[in-house]
């Protein structure tokens, strides 16, 4: 890839992914139940080798994968991304035993992963989380504790994607080695741990989101992801990789909305011609296309910086997520306006995208948080 265009092989691969999403994955998504984990869809992502690509690709390839799947099937894109988000800390910070136990199952689409960071009082301010890990020096016989002692997790997580149906959770809890982010530890918590329960939440977006309750859930040294007190670094390592690809997800939705608008306004007859002949319509479509292309290029640049190991990844990742998600909201909203009432019907592509496009401006750091990160990095 140059600074301005993908290579021929990359473009061909993206086209194959878009077709695969529409022809193979869309029918499976349509059979799923909104707000529930779609295990047949996950299994198909595993069989096709796409989940494997999440763990072996660089940031740019991950962005191309997410953008292309989002264009044809947002449910498939989200299912794939959530597997990566929940299991990436295991890949990067897990023990050999944790990786051997869970990663092959995640790659095959047989085990569902979840990233459990947000809480009722700690969403955008992740360093303010309150889930408490209290030392349990005596250990336990059920997996938490052991010779080195363990912890008991008490508190609540909220707005966790794939909860409460995930098979394991990457959980961030306060162990108190220091203030704010310095006292956070990451744990791998299987869903069948005693004291762990959850319930689904009825949300606008169609993918599963839930609440988790921890009532003295036992965890031990063998459940650590990284070192005690270094969990915030584990979280940020994951988010720095996935933030540009959230932008890619948004770009995929924007491109789908733009193409649908071009097709509709180029054929819909009105006022003695087609809608696209009207200057007001043509100028609006031109603005939609320009913003989408600008967001796309910024996402690619951020991904390229991550792959190159650049020092400015946090700033670039924040810029990419900010511009792409805000742009997608703009493009989808204007696409609905140009389509008129037909786009508000249940089952219409734009009705679906209108519900999907709102959440990315909030999760993995709201737009306001991205602006704060950008400003801090600029003044550093």
Q: Span 313-333, mean pLDDT?
A: 96
Q: What is the pLDDT of residues 38-81, one digit of tens each?
A: 999 999 999 999 999 999 999 999 999 999 999 999 999 999 99
Nearest to 217 by CA among 165, 121, 145, 161: 145
Residue 109 DSSP code: T
35: left (phi over 0), alpha (psi -120 to 50) or beta: left
Question: What is the mean pLDDT of the segment spanning 91-98?
Answer: 96
Least confident of 107-116, 188-197, 360-369: 360-369
Give the span between the Cα atoms of 255 and 234, in whole angstroms. 32
Task: Give, in order, the Cα–Cα distances in Å from 9 to each of 15, 64, 205, 370.
Answer: 10, 12, 33, 32
Mean pLDDT calculated for residue range 274-287 = 96
Distance, CA of 212 to CA of 291 (rounded, Å): 38
**Rounded mean pLDDT of 331-336?**
98
Nearest Cα neighbor of 117 from 179, 62, 175, 184 is: 184
CB 207 within 8 A of CB 165: no
Closest CA to 25 of 63, 78, 103: 78
Q: For the residues 351-367, what does the mean pLDDT come to?
A: 93
Q: Using 50, 70 and 90 to split pLDDT, how confident is the model at 126?
A: low
| Most trustworthy range by pLDDT among 5-14, 199-208, 293-302, 359-368 | 293-302
| 73 within 8 A of 21, measured Cβ to Cβ | yes
Give pLDDT, residue 122: 77
DSSP lists the bridge partners of residue 169 as: 114, 189
% pLDDT > 70, the chain: 94
Q: What is the DSSP string of 119-155?
A: BTTBSS-GGG---EEEEETT--TTSS--TT-EEEEEE
Angle at 52 between CA 161 and CA 173, to 5 degrees: 35
Residue 61 falls in the annotated catalytic set: no
Both tokens assigned to 241: 């990789």
In the chain, alpha helices (H): 8-20, 26-31, 39-47, 50-56, 59-72, 74-93, 96-107, 231-265, 279-308, 313-339, 349-356, 367-379
Phi, psi of 352 (to 5 degrees): -65, -50
Higher pLDDT: 9 or 149? It is 9
pLDDT digits (tens, 9 = 90+) for 136-194: 864 333 344 444 589 999 999 999 999 999 999 999 999 987 777 788 999 999 999 99
What is the percentage of the chain residues whose pLDDT exceeds 90?
82
| Residue-averaged pLDDT of the chain | 92
303-322 pLDDT, tens digit each? 999 999 999 999 999 999 99
pLDDT at position 100 over 60:
yes
- Is pLDDT at 328 greater than 70 in this prediction? yes
Backbone angles phi, psi at 197, to 5 degrees: -140, 170
Of 145-149, 198-202, 267-271, 344-348, minimum mean pLDDT range? 145-149
Between 270 and 4, the higher pLDDT residue: 270
Region 246-266: what's the mean pLDDT? 97
Query: What SS3 class is residue 169?
Result: strand
Which residue segments constitute the domains of the chain, with CATH numbers given? 8-107 (1.10.540.10), 113-229 (2.40.110.10), 233-379 (1.20.140.10)
DSSP 8-state class, residue 182: G
197-209 average pLDDT score: 90
- Which pLDDT value is given to residue 4? 66
Q: Is the pLDDT of residue 220 over 60?
A: yes
Provide the 10 A C-beta neighbour count for residue 327. 25
> What is the distance between the alpha carbons of residues 282 and 331, in angstroms, rounded to a whole number?
14
Going from the C-alpha of 333 to that of each of 66, 201, 293, 296, 374, the distances in angstroms are: 21, 25, 17, 18, 26
Catalytic residue (choose from 77, 132, 364, 377): 364
- The overall longest dimension of the chain from CA atoms, in Å, is 82
Task: Report the predicted TM-score, pTM, of the whole model to 2 decimal places.
Answer: 0.91
């Amino acid at each position: 890839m140059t600074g301005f265009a993908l290579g021929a092989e990359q473009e061909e691969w993206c086209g194959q992914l878009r077709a695969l999403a529409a022809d193979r994955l869309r029918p499976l998504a349509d059979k799923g139940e909104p707000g529930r984990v779609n295990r047949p869809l996950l299994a198909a992502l595993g069989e096709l080798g796409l989940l494997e690509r999440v763990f072996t690709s660089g940031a740019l390839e991950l962005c191309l994968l997410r953008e292309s799947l989002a264009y044809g099937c947002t449910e498939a894109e989200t299912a794939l991304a959530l597997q990566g988000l929940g299991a990436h800390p295991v890949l990067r910070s897990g023990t050999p035993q944790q990786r051997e136990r869970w990663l092959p199952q995640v790659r095959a689409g047989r085990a569902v992963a979840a990233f459990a960071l947000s809480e009722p009082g700690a969403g955008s301010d992740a360093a303010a989380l309150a889930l408490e890990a209290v030392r349990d020096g005596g250990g336990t016989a059920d997996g938490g504790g052991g010779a080195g002692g363990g912890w008991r997790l008490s508190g609540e997580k909220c707005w966790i994607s794939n909860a409460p149906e995930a098979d394991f959770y990457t959980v961030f809890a306060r162990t108190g080695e220091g203030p704010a982010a310095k006292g956070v530890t990451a744990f791998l918590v299987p869903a069948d741990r005693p004291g762990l329960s959850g319930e689904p939440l009825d949300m606008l977006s169609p993918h599963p989101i839930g609440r988790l309750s921890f009532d003295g859930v036992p965890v031990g040294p063998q459940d650590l992801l990284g070192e005690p007190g270094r969990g915030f670094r584990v979280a940020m390592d994951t988010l720095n990789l996935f933030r540009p690809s959230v932008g890619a997800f948004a770009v995929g939705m924007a491109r789908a909305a733009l193409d649908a608008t071009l097709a509709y306004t180029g054929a819909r007859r009105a006022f003695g011609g087609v809608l696209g002949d009207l200057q007001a319509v043509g100028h609006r479509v031109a603005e939609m296309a320009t913003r989408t292309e600008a967001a796309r290029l910024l996402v690619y640049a951020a991904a390229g910086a991550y792959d190159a190991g650049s020092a400015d990844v946090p700033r670039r990742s924040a810029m990419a997520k900010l511009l792409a998600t805000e742009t997608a909201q703009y493009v989808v909203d204007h696409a609905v306006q140009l389509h008129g009432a037909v786009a508000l019907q249940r089952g219409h592509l734009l009705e679906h995208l209108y519900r999907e496009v709102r959440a990315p401006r909030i999760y993995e750091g709201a737009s306001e948080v991205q602006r704060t990160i950008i400003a801090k990095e600029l003044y550093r």
